Amino acid sequence: MKRGIYMINWIAKVLPNVYQLGWGGDAGWGTSIFQTLFMTFWSAIFGGILGIIFGVLLVLTKEDGIHPNKFWYNVCDKIVSIFRAIPFIILLAFIAPVTQKIVGTQIGMKAALVPLTLGVFPFYARQVQVALESVDSGKIEAAQSLGATTRDIIFDVYLRESRSELIRVSTVTVISLIGLTAMAGAIGAGGLGNTAISYGYNRFNNDVTWVATIFVIILIFIVQVVGDFFAKKLNHQNR
């Protein structure tokens, strides 16, 4: 108990602006961490689903894919390329009307999910495409010779054989997504990035900026460690 009180007093003395923000409330540290985790988690889910769908379609419909289709390949390729080329901060404003239609508002955490999803899915789709293309073509041909359906090849060959690599690229994508949540503060989404800029940098409160940055680094470190663990584990299982 005494150590806890001593720590609180030390923070209040050495990091006064950090202490002033507190843990709860609209600008509290707990609130900021929750907002960052909320945006990262749901954007990773929605963006991940879109990324896998487009990544799989790009591999299936390419010229030497199992279902070559120039039209659909070009459509998917152009969609991914266009969204990947738009800077995220511009994407926030560009799709604001779409965000309004989907979630009923253009500001806040939920509103940020739409641009975050559309901002991260093209990057992930390319990563998925590369991961799936690394699967040994001999295994695909063997599956086809045994009468495997397209669904079987997708889930039992492509996704299963590349799962370790998919975990690695997913880790990189989530880390990039954490960075994008910082810019989502531009539409009032909150989060650690918004705390670092609005309550730290803009007010010359360097201690707030430092602590917010440390929290972001901790989150990234946790994601990296967990991702590396499962990637290595699945890689050993594939052997």
In a domain, 10, yes or no: no
**N- to C-terminal Cα separation, the chain:** 51
The confidence score (pLDDT) of residue 36 equals 93
The region that residue 25 occupies, defined by phi over 0 for left and psi between -120 and 50 for alpha, beta otherwise, is: left
pTM of the predicted model, to two decimals?
0.89
In a domain, 2, yes or no: no
In a domain, 22, yes or no: no
In a domain, 4, yes or no: no
The confidence score (pLDDT) of residue 1 equals 57
The confidence score (pLDDT) of residue 190 equals 85
The confidence score (pLDDT) of residue 131 equals 93
Structural domain count of the chain: 1
In a domain, 205, yes or no: yes
Q: Which pLDDT tens digit goes with each residue over 40-94?
A: 999 999 999 999 999 999 999 999 889 999 999 999 999 999 999 998 888 888 8
In this prediction, the residues of the chain whose per-residue pLDDT falls under 50 are none
Within a 13 Å sphere around the CA of 107, how many CA atoms are in the beta-carbon half?
Answer: 4
In a domain, 7, yes or no: no
Domain with 41, as residue range(s), is 28-238
The confidence score (pLDDT) of residue 227 equals 93
Mean pLDDT of the chain: 88
Q: Are 170 and 237 in contact (CB under 8 A)?
A: no
- Domain CATH number, residue 223: 1.10.3720.10
Tally of CB atoms within 10 A around 16: 12
The confidence score (pLDDT) of residue 31 equals 92
Residue in 41, 26, 30 with CA at minimum distance from that of residue 110: 41
In angstroms, the CA 105 to CA 107 distance is 6
In a domain, 211, yes or no: yes
In a domain, 18, yes or no: no
